[in-house]
Amino acid sequence: MTKKFRLTLAQLNPTVGDLAGNTAQARDAWEQAKAAGADMVALPEMFVTGYQTQDLVARPAFVAESMVRIRSLALDCADGPALAIGGPMQEEDRLYNCYFILQGGKISAIMRKHFLPNFNVFDEVRLFKSDAIAGPYTIEDGPRIGSPICEDAWYPDVCETMVESGAEILVVPNGSPYFRDKFAIRMNNMVARVVENDRPLVYLNMVGGQDDQMFDGGSFVLNRGGRLAMQLPVFRSTIAHVDFTLTDQGWEADAGEKATLPDNLEQDYHVMVETLRDYMRKTGFTKVLLGLSGGIDSAIVAAIATDALGPENVRCVMLPSEYTSQGSLDDAAAAAKALGVKYDTVSIAGPRAAVTEALAPLFGDMPADLTEENIQSRIRGLLLMAQSNKFGEMLLTTGNKSEVAVGYATIYGDMAGGYNPIKDMYKTRVFASCRWRNENHRDWMKGPAGEVIPVAIINKPPSAELRPDQKDEDSLPPYDILDGILKMLVDDEASVAECVAAGYDREVVKKIEHLIYISEYKRFQSAPGPRLSNRAFWLDRRYPIVNRWRDSS
Ligand SMILES: Nc1ncnc2c1ncn2[C@@H]1O[C@H](COP(=O)(O)OP(=O)(O)OC[C@H]2O[C@@H]([n+]3cccc(C(=O)O)c3)[C@H](O)[C@@H]2O)[C@@H](O)[C@H]1O
Ligand SMILES: Nc1ncnc2c1ncn2[C@@H]1O[C@H](COP(=O)(O)OP(=O)(O)OP(=O)(O)O)[C@@H](O)[C@H]1O
Ligand SMILES: NC(=O)CC[C@H](N)C(=O)O
């Protein structure tokens, strides 16, 4: 009789620290696997705790409770398919990132991670110990399986050793966070492992937002030769069953679902929506508010919030001053109407006059300058935070990556807010994302279809409207030049000389370099936001605040 093996892939969304909830999700996946007649159900890396735990995993009580949950899951799931789940384990003074195989009421095998990622957003060498490469485990009446844990499968060694010691299938649990165009990098690595080892491979990733990171799912199954047998969707919790048949050449996966992967404009937009949605749900908020200025940044943030939470949970507030143009008033109202969100107006004229009066004895006849400009931004921050307190709505802040990079925002002013959906998106890409959203609608968007960001907003020159006729380009180079230089200096760590060789003016490059370094203190105090690139501010790029070094090239 043909030998078969059914594996259930649980591409699910854990919450960091919700040990009971994550275990319940695992248990539910196991019930579904059992009902489907599966032999094994696999959950992602560190699923019991959620990922990434950062220093929470250094707390002995947290690890101990996680172990208790794993053991009780083993007992609960004794009678049915094997269950494989990631979690931490303490052995004497050593903490490991593990993959537990639960069968027959017990932990029947434990894989300990060998290659600990310690770059970009990862600090696993700081948190965990590496263990020697383990051999495969056997599923009762089924294949011998090797489980390299995420980073373990990005190099040949672990898979090769597991296969040399008898692994017939590789099942790789992952906690692999999104950055733009990462799919191809993952796929290339996994195809290489399959070809090197002549074994099928199951790549299982988690989904969900955690602070700045989005775990984008997109799990897949490869047959020998690197042939794609199954592709699960990105950004969506999914339970799927894959059937393996034992052939003369070894185990072969039957062809299953082949989800299509979105292009990178859609990926980024979807990440901004999902991370905000998960940040809200996982921190217990349902409603947001934001200042809607009639400019493009607050307009796209309003659209993202509406798509994430629904129009009934988004409130936009126009806070006009004497410098607010009629165009801005019209554009902000039109944007709110197109999205179907609540829209209020609170003038800053009165508070501004009161602040000016309060400071007059100190400021005397000193000329008005940036101080007075920033007071407007700070009054808006204060009025928005007051509404946040009163109505229990979380305030969204709206600075794009270009502004965040050069400090073009007022600290304790428009930087006020709990989450910044566009923190890692350069201004030039904000324009492209707005056009994409106006032309596309998907079932995961809770906002309406159509032109939700009025084209008048996309087409006008950006202005902070903090003084008469102010344009961003008065203080900054045009955004295509600014973003070109920022991409080189921030994302590529290019030298000043390399920027000049690429055609940028040295004086402009030096000015931008200076602005990046002197605004480190602002970023240190800024709200988190979704990571879209592999060089996002915060964990990917950690610079000192006090720093006298400048590139003399
Ligand atoms: N290293 C450091 N550590 C701690 N504090 C430091 C510091 N360097 C300066 N500071 C302090 O920070 C203050 C300066 O920061 P801040 O008050 O923000 O002021 P600043 O960065 O000078 O001005 C804000 C800039 O953002 C522009 N803006 C504002 C609002 C919105 C937008 C927009 O388009 O979205 C643009 C505005 O036109 C202006 O060019 C100083 O008073 C100084 O005391
Ligand atoms: N008149 C206003 N009413 C409400 N909010 C405002 C107003 N002006 C500024 N804000 C808030 O402060 C943020 C910074 O806006 P500002 O106009 O200074 O520059 P910006 O970065 O070009 O943003 P935007 O493109 O949204 O205008 C805005 O995104 C908005 O949230
Ligand atoms: N959790 C991990 O080991 C992640 C590292 C891995 N290379 C990734 O980003 O996909």
**pLDDT greater than 90 at residue 472:** no
CA-nearest residue for atom 29, ligand 2, is 298
**pLDDT greater than 80 at residue 458:** yes
Quote the ligand 3 centre to 153 CA distance (angstroms). Answer: 9
State the closest ligand 2 atom to the C-alpha of 298, by its place in the atom list counted from 1. 26
Report the pLDDT value the prediction gives residue 501, as an integer from 0 to 100: 98
Report the pLDDT value the prediction gives residue 473, as an integer from 0 to 100: 78
Assign 543 a pLDDT band (cuts: 50, 70, 90). Answer: very high
Neighbour tally for 125: CB within 10 Å:
12
Ligand 2 environment, Cβ below 6 A: 290-293, 295-298, 317-320, 324, 380, 398, 403, 414, 462, 464-465
Assign 265 a pLDDT band (cuts: 50, 70, 90). Answer: very high
Catalytic residue chosen out of the listed positions 77, 113, 159, 423? 113
Report the pLDDT value the prediction gives residue 12, as an integer from 0 to 100: 98
176 known member of a binding site = yes
- Concerning whether 487 is annotated as a catalytic residue, the answer is no
What is the phi/psi pair of residue 510, to 5°? -65, -40
Residue of 359, 374, 515, 545 to test ligand 1 pocket, by largest number of atoms within 8 Å of CB:
374
β-pair type (40-42, 4-11): parallel
374 known member of a binding site = yes
Assign 211 a pLDDT band (cuts: 50, 70, 90). Answer: very high
**pLDDT greater than 90 at residue 469:** no
Report the pLDDT value the prediction gives residue 470, as an integer from 0 to 100: 74
State the closest ligand 2 atom to the C-alpha of 413, by its place in the atom list counted from 1. 12
Task: Provide, rounded to the nearest whole percent, the portion of the chain with pLDDT above 70.
Answer: 100
Residue of 377, 394, 398, 460 to test ligand 2 pocket, by largest number of atoms within 8 Å of CB:
398
Contact 190/172 with Cβ under 8 angstroms?
Answer: yes
**79 DSSP assignment:** S
Ligand 1 environment, Cβ below 6 A: 370, 373-374, 377, 403, 407-411, 413-414, 464, 466, 472, 475, 521, 545
Report the pLDDT value the prediction gives residue 133, as an integer from 0 to 100: 97
Q: CB-based contacts of 315: which residues, under 8 Å, 6+ apart?
A: 287, 288, 289, 290, 341, 342, 343, 344, 387, 391, 393
403 known member of a binding site = yes
495 known member of a binding site = no
Report the pLDDT value the prediction gives residue 2, as an integer from 0 to 100: 86
Using DSSP's 3-state secondary structure scheme, residue 478 falls into coil
β-pair type (220-223, 227-231): antiparallel
User: What's the CA gap between 150 and 147, in Å, rounded?
Assistant: 9
Catalytic residue chosen out of the listed positions 77, 98, 124, 150? 150
The 3-state secondary structure of 146-157 reads ECCCHHHHHCHH
Which residue ranges form the domains of the chain, and what is each CATH number? 4-256 (3.60.110.10), 265-472 (3.40.50.620)
**pLDDT greater than 90 at residue 475:** no
Q: Which ligand is nearest to the CA of 373?
A: 1
Report the pLDDT value the prediction gives residue 341, as an integer from 0 to 100: 98
Residue of 289, 290, 296, 298 to test ligand 2 pocket, by largest number of atoms within 8 Å of CB:
298
Report the pLDDT value the prediction gives residue 497, as an integer from 0 to 100: 98
Q: What is the pLDDT of residues 282-329, one digit of tens each?
A: 999 999 999 999 999 999 999 999 999 999 999 999 999 999 999 999
Q: What is the pLDDT of residues 154-191, one digit of tens each?
A: 999 999 999 999 999 999 999 999 999 999 999 999 99
User: What's the CA gap between 299 and 343, in Å, rounded?
Assistant: 13
Q: Which ligand is nearest to the CA of 172?
A: 3
Q: Which of 174, 170, 185 is nearest to 221 (CA)?
A: 170
Q: What is the pLDDT of residues 49-79, one digit of tens each?
A: 999 999 999 999 999 999 999 999 999 999 9
DSSP string, 335-353: HHHHHT-EEEE--SHHHHH
Q: CB-based contacts of 541: which residues, under 8 Å, 6+ apart?
A: 490, 535
Say if ligand 3 is within 6 A of residue 402 CB: no
Report the pLDDT value the prediction gives residue 471, as an integer from 0 to 100: 77
Contact 219/204 with Cβ under 8 angstroms?
Answer: yes
Helices marked H in 143-260: 156-164, 182-197
CB-count burial class (<10 Å; 0-12, 13-18, 19+) for 542: exposed
**409 DSSP assignment:** S
Q: Which helix (H) or strand (E) holds 315?
A: strand 314-318
Quote the ligand 3 centre to 187 CA distance (angstroms). Answer: 13
Report the pLDDT value the prediction gives residue 535, as an integer from 0 to 100: 98
Residue in the structure block whose two tokens are 């994409």: 436
Q: Over range 507-530, report the average pLDDT.
A: 98
Cis before residue 470, ω within 30 degrees of 0?
no
- Concerning whether 150 is annotated as a catalytic residue, the answer is yes
Assign 388 a pLDDT band (cuts: 50, 70, 90). Answer: very high
Q: What is the pLDDT of residues 338-355, one digit of tens each?
A: 999 999 999 999 999 999
Assign 467 a pLDDT band (cuts: 50, 70, 90). Answer: confident
User: What's the CA gap between 520 and 25, in Å, rounded?
Assistant: 40
**pLDDT greater than 80 at residue 1:** no
State the closest ligand 2 atom to the C-alpha of 398, by its place in the atom list counted from 1. 29
What average pLDDT does the chain have? 97
- Concerning whether 140 is annotated as a catalytic residue, the answer is no
Q: What is the pLDDT of residues 97-137, one digit of tens each?
A: 999 999 999 999 999 999 999 999 999 999 999 999 999 99
Q: Which of 42, 26, 43, 111 is nearest to 77 (CA)?
A: 26
Residue type, 513: E
Report the pLDDT value the prediction gives residue 474, as an integer from 0 to 100: 78
